Amino acid sequence: MNIKSPLRLTAATAVLLALTGCASFSGDAGMGAIDPLVQARTGAPARTLKTEADRRALDELLQARLAQPLSADGAVEIALLNNRTLQASYWELGIAEADLVQAGRLQNPAFGYQHMRGGGDVSIERTLTFNLVSLITAPLASRIEGRQFEQTRQQVAAEAVQVAADTRRAWVEAVAATQAVEYARQVAGAAEASAELGQRMRQAGNWSAYDQAREQAFYAEAMADVARATQAATAAREHLTRLLGLWGTQAQYRLPERLPELPAAPRDIADVEQRAVRERLDVQAANLATQRTASALGLSRATRFVNVLELGAVRESDGGAKARGYEVTLEIPLFDWGGARTARAEAVYMQAVNRLAATATDARSAARESYQAYRSAYDVARHYRDVVIPLRKKLSDETLLRYNGMLLSTFELLADAREQRSAVNAYVGALKDFWLAESSLETALGGRLPAVVPPSQQGATQ
Amino acid sequence: MTDSMKRRSFLQGAALLGAGMVSKAGAATLPEAPVQGSAATAAPLVPPNGRPYNPVVTLNGWSLPWRMKDGVKEFHLVAEPVVRELAPGMHANLWGYNGQSPGPTIEVVEGDRVRIFVTNKLPEHTSVHWHGQILPNGMDGVSGVTQPSIQPGKTFVYEFVAKHAGTFMYHPHADEMAQMAMGMMGFWVTHPKDPRQHAVDRDFVFLLSAYDIEPGSYTPKVNTMLDFNLWTFNSRVFPAIDPMVVRQGERVRIRAGNLTMTNHPLHVHGHTFEVTGTDGGWVRPSARWPEVTTDVAVGQMRAIEFVADNPGDWAFHCHKSHHTMNAMGHDVPTLIGVDHRGVAEKINKLVPGYMVMGEKGGAMGGMRMPLPENTLPMMTGTGQFGEIEMGGMFTLLKVREGLARGDYRDPGHYRHPKGTVAYEWTGEAPPAPSAPGGKAGRADGALDVRRGGASTGHEGH
């Protein structure tokens, strides 16, 4: 578009620029928008590492956290800042924000200068070209990028919440696996004492090779169990380490020796369904999608007769390279008066409405199921703590009394010691299931639950 | 124990309830059924009426009083659940008669007409067989064969003449496996018409019985056949069996009946004796031979006699060594000679409170460790020189100079005359004798036993 006299347009451009209400950079790559979302759901902040100062602050935090045995909350805090996959996702937000800001900006005007000489004539043409289409489409593009940004925000927040939940679960698994190694070692210790005593029995001539071999076989199997438990503990710990994004000397962090004790009472949550519908990010996303399609429907209805533009988000994938943008189609309303478009928008809207309903229904069901699983896991763990373990203890006490009365032998005493440790191990398993169930419940309800119950002081894990 | 007190008062309540069920008219015709609650040895029952006799002493038991009615001696036995103190600290839920198990000793005189009322307060039917008595077939007490069984709450009457003097017993012949395992039994003595015949100064009687009571429980396992863990004289175990106290020079008779499921070689220290009677009657003097041990087979009775001419505290016991033990584990492996160094510490880490026992032998060296509820140490009792290490079928025959006639009180430990107690030799050890041509034993005294497969291949652990 060549305009001979561009000067008058300058003022118009300024007006238009103001009209587009263009977005500007938030300065924190958009993290300010999701940090509250993530904090409310994980109890820890989400921040992009941008500067050397950020890096130093993280190092200091890691140093402080890793000086102590790492708690579950500490692990979540580290993962949200130090998990590089998550950091990469945080930058996704920066990309989306940049796109949004870009969309809100008009293309730069182009200044043209033409000098022609011919037939003794010299003509000089100066042009200031300005992409008017972009001027018209800028608000629409902004709106699309705005939605894109919003969606990315939701995605990144959901990813952070997922990493937090994964980390919490990995922490529980790693601590429980370490405990399992300890108990496997104790069982092996009892078997070792039996085997050693069996060997002495054989040497003294009191036992046959059969009896000795039986005790040795127990010990050999117990040692295999120790090896298996150790391998499982290594795998569990490495899974956690990956989520924490740690390596080198930092990977030598310590974990607590035991899982936290069972709370004195389980959480009593009356409104699990409402809470899930209110807090879950997937429900919120479905809700936003519905609102967006509603506004699109409204727009279609309002512009159906004068619709000159078709807006569409474009996402192209060409080999490995991905391109994102939008396209604007100019259309002359000669044959199509927009009825079909309105019908489509209506259908899209109804689709979104139903997807929202389905998401909410699923969320309610998941909330109920998780809460039920959580309560059952609590009951099972409490049963072990209050019934099974005390009974095992009682059995051990009575076994020792029978040994004292020469009614039972040392070998039966050691066999009982093995069984008692197996029961303790089963309790640790039940406790692990409880903490995992709590984590699942939090995921199903959309975020961290307040610590309503102080941890029990009684009922040692022995 | 308060538990047993509660149980006892409960049983008394049950007995009262049972008595209340007998009709008034019926009750008036029944002789009194005296009840004994104490497990102490009762004084001999001097006959208040009827023919005179020299009464017996029932070890940790008593004799049943009677009433004379029209020249008939009437006794009343009540079969009922009881709680018996086997020894202080251990009580057993048994079945017995008139508050005790075994039931009271019945003493009659040769030729007495005897009428015995038997009231059944057990939860199941019973009968009474009068072991060794020669009586009308219908009085023999074999339920189903000679009579219908006595149903719970019913009273039956047995009546016969005690024809022969001798040593007898009574026990059920209905569900007898369970009922005898639960302690249903009693002693019976028929004295000779002439009290001077077979007269002795002291006449002790008791029944041999065995129970399988799991430590921590109170009721015998009635299905145990041979592996009992409590071997008793009159349902008492040493050191809770009273001593047999006699005056030096007295003629002593000890009568025992065996209602266990194995034989018991009864052995007396310091004296020789003769078996003078069985449940078949008196042994002719020409048929007697000297013994220090007599085997009492299952279902048999033996009367032995001797003159207590040797003062002291003499062991009297069953010679089966497991029968002079209390509850013990028969499947515990032998640890003698097994080196526990190093292993004991490992075990102690796993089982706090663990102490090594048995690596030098079975003796516990006076260790007193906590035991399960309601059981007794395997070996127990303390004498003037230390641990006696005995339980079960063991007691002491205490022969003393100058005791009063009829004085059965425990005179305490025997005071040995100077120079009559084995003592430690502190002089030079005599050279060890060696067999001609035999090689000397190993210097460390250990047996040189060779076994196959001595290589254990276990050193890697």
Partners of residue B244 on adjacent β-strands: B397
Under DSSP, the state recorded for B338 is -
Higher pLDDT, A5 or B206: B206
Both tokens of residue A298? 């409204």
Name the stretches of chain B with pLDDT < 50: 1-25, 445, 450-461
From A398's Cα to the closest Cα of chain B, the distance in A is 6
ipTM: 0.79
| A411 contact B CB<8A | yes
Q: Closest chain B residue to A196 measured between Cα atoms?
A: B343
Among B303, B238, B233, B315, CA closest to B271: B315
A204-233: per-residue pLDDT in tens?
Answer: 999 999 999 999 999 999 999 999 999 999
- Per-residue pLDDT at B309: 97
CB distance B375–A405 less than 8 Å? yes
Question: Cβ–Cβ of A193/B354 closer than 8 Å?
Answer: no
Q: How far apart are CA A353 and CA A346, in angstroms?
A: 10
With H, G, I as helix, E, B as strand and everything else as coil, classify residue B135.
coil
**C-alpha to C-alpha distances, A290 to A351, A352, B147, B221, nearest whole angstrom:** 9, 5, 95, 77
User: Are B34 and B210 in contact, with CB atoms under 8 Å apart?
Assistant: no
Rounded to a whole number of angstroms, the distance from the CA of A460 to the nearest CA of chain B is 17
Q: Does A425 touch chain B (CB under 8 A)?
A: no
Contacts of B377 in chain A (CB under 8 A): 405
Q: What are phi and psi of B338, to 5 degrees?
A: -90, 120
Length of chain A: 462
Shortest CA gap B345–chain A (Å): 9
CB–CB contact B327 A405 (8 Å):
yes
CA-based torsion, A278, A283, A284, A288: positive or negative: negative
Nearest CB to B332; choose among A409, A414, A417: A409
Token code pair at residue B246: 């006699």
DSSP string, A113-159: EEEEEETTEEEEEEEEE--HHHHHHHHHHHHHHHHHHHHHHHHHHHH
As a residue count, chain B comes to 461
Whether residue B340 lies within 8 A of chain A, CB to CB, comes out as yes
Confidence of residue A7 (pLDDT cuts 50, 70, 90): very low
Please name the residue ranges forming H helices in B44-199.
176-181
Span A155-175, pLDDT tens digits: 899 999 999 999 999 999 999
Dihedrals phi, psi of B397, to nearest 5 degrees: -95, 110
User: 3-class SS at B215?
Assistant: coil
Tell me the C-alpha distance between A154 and A91, whole Å.
14
Position A111 scores a pLDDT of: 77
pLDDT at B367: 63
- Lowest-pLDDT range of A97-106, A335-344, A415-424, B335-344: A335-344
Contacts 24+ apart (CB under 8 A), B453-459: B453/A209, B454/A203, B456/A199, B456/A202, B456/A203, B456/A212, B458/A195, B458/A196, B458/A199, B458/A212, B458/A216
**Prior bond to B311 cis, omega within 30?**
no
* pLDDT value for A193: 92
Task: Return the axis-axis angle of helices A132-203 and A84-103, rounded to nearest 10°.
Answer: 170
Q: Any CB–CB contact under 8 A between A450 and chain B?
A: no
Mean pLDDT computed over A358-362: 93
Q: Which residues contact A134 (CB under 8 A, 6 or more apart)?
A: A106, A107, A141
Q: How far is CA A179 from CA A71, A118, A257, A361, in A?
A: 15, 93, 7, 39
Q: Strands (DSSP E) along A169-320, which ranges? A: 309-318
Question: Which chain A residues have a beta carbon less than 8 Å from that of B378?
Answer: 405-406
* Contact assignment for B329 to A417 by CB distance below 8 Å: no
Distance CA A292, CA A280 (A): 18
The alpha-carbon gap from A408 to the nearest alpha carbon of chain B, in Å, equals 6
Tens digit of pLDDT for each residue in A251-293?
A: 999 999 999 999 999 999 888 998 898 889 888 888 888 888 8
Q: How far is CA B21 from CA A446, B99, B121, B232, in A?
A: 73, 18, 10, 35
Residue to test with chain B: of A211, A394, A406, most B Cβ within 10 A: A406
Angle B83-B170-B91 from CA coordinates, rounded to 5°: 15
- Parse chain B into domains and list their residue ranges: 3-318
What is the sign, positive or negative, of the torsion defined by CA atoms of A191, A193, A194, A196?
positive
Question: CB burial class (10 A; 0-12, 13-18, 19+) of residue A34?
Answer: buried
Minimal Cβ distance to A212: which of B215, B355, B456 = B456
Instruction: Please indicate whether, in this complex, the C-beta atoms of A205 and B451 are within 8 angstroms of each other.
Output: yes
Name residue B313's beta-bridge partners: B398
Alpha-carbon distance of A262 to A385, in angstroms, equals 9
Distance, CA of A378 to CA of B233 (rounded, Å): 56
Identify any residues that bridge with B188 across adjacent strands, giving them in sequence order.
B106, B168
Query: In the numeric block, which tokens belong to residue A356?
Result: 């929202």
Cβ atoms of A405 and B215 within 8 Å: the answer is yes
| Residue A189 sits at the chain B interface (C-beta within 8 Å) | yes
Q: Please name the helix (run of DSSP H) or strand (run of DSSP E) that holds residue B258, with its range, or none.
A: strand B251-258
Q: Which two tokens stand for residue A256?
A: 């607590």
SS3 at position A169: helix
DSSP element (H, E) containing A325: strand A321-330
Rounded Cα gap, residues A29 and A143, in angstroms: 19
- Helix or strand run (H / E) with residue A168: helix A132-203
What does the alpha-carbon distance between residue B405 and residue B201 come to, in Å, rounded to a whole number? Answer: 8
Verify whether the Cβ–Cβ distance B336 to A206 is below 8 Å.
Answer: yes
The reported pLDDT for the residue numbered A319 is: 58
Q: How remote is the C-alpha of A126 from its chain's centroid?
A: 57
CA A215-A219-A225 angle, 5° bins: 145
- pLDDT for A321 equals 61
* Confidence at residue A171, expressed as pLDDT on a 0 to 100 scale: 98
The band of A456, judged by pLDDT with boundaries at 50, 70 and 90, is: very low
Phi, psi of A122 (to 5 degrees): -120, 120
What's the pLDDT at A130? 67
A257 touches chain B (CB under 8 A): no
Q: Bridge-partner residues for B93, per DSSP? A: B83
| Shortest Cα–Cα distance, B106 to chain A (Å) | 38
The span from the CA of B63 to the CA of B102, in Å, is 11
Q: Alpha-carbon distance A11 to A202, whole Å?
A: 107
Of B333, B340, B358, the CB nearest to A207: B333
Contact yes or no for A244/A206 (Cβ under 8 A): no
Q: What is the pLDDT of residue B420?
A: 96
Q: What span, in angstroms and rounded, lies between the C-alpha atoms of B101 and B187?
A: 11
Return d(Cα B222, Cα B460) in angstroms, integer: 49
A300 vs A445 pLDDT, higher one: A445
Q: Is B142 on the interface with A (CB under 8 A)?
A: no
Cβ-based neighbour number of residue A25 at 10 Å: 12
The C-alpha of A367 sits at a distance from chain B's nearest C-alpha, in angstroms, of: 44
Mean pLDDT of all residues in A443-450: 85
State the amino acid at position A452 in one-letter form: V
Q: Which residue has the tokens 């209110």?
A: A278
pLDDT above 60: residue A69: yes
* DSSP SS3 for A393: helix
For an interface test with B, the pick among A207, A398, A401 (most B C-beta atoms closer than 10 Å) comes out as A401
Q: Where are the alpha helices (DSSP H) in A21-112?
A: 31-42, 52-66, 72-82, 84-103
Q: Which tokens sit at B242?
A: 């009273």
Task: With both helix axes pointing from N to C terminus, report the angle between A410-445 and A272-279 in degrees, rounded to the nearest 10.
Answer: 60
- Confidence at residue A2, expressed as pLDDT on a 0 to 100 scale: 41
pLDDT of residue A3: 39
A341: helix, strand or coil: helix
**Which CATH number does B3-318 carry?**
2.60.40.420
Residues A309-359 have pLDDT tens digits of 455 555 555 555 666 666 655 555 566 666 777 788 888 888 888 999 999
pLDDT over threshold 90, residue A12: no
Q: Is A231 on the interface with B (CB under 8 A)?
A: no
CA distance B221 to B231: 14
The span from the CA of A216 to the CA of B458, in Å, is 8
Contacts B454 to A, Cβ<8 Å:
203
For A200, the closest of B331, B338, B461 (CB atoms) is B338
User: How confident is the model at residue A381, as a pLDDT?
Assistant: 97
Helix axes A84-103, A31-42, angle to 10 degrees: 140
Nearest beta carbon to residue B343 from set A186, A197, A416 = A197
**No. of helices (H) and no. of strands (E), chain B:** 4, 24
Q: Which residue has the tokens 């899930």?
A: A276
Strands (E), B54-201: 57-58, 67-69, 72-87, 90-97, 103-109, 113-120, 129-131, 155-161, 166-171, 186-191
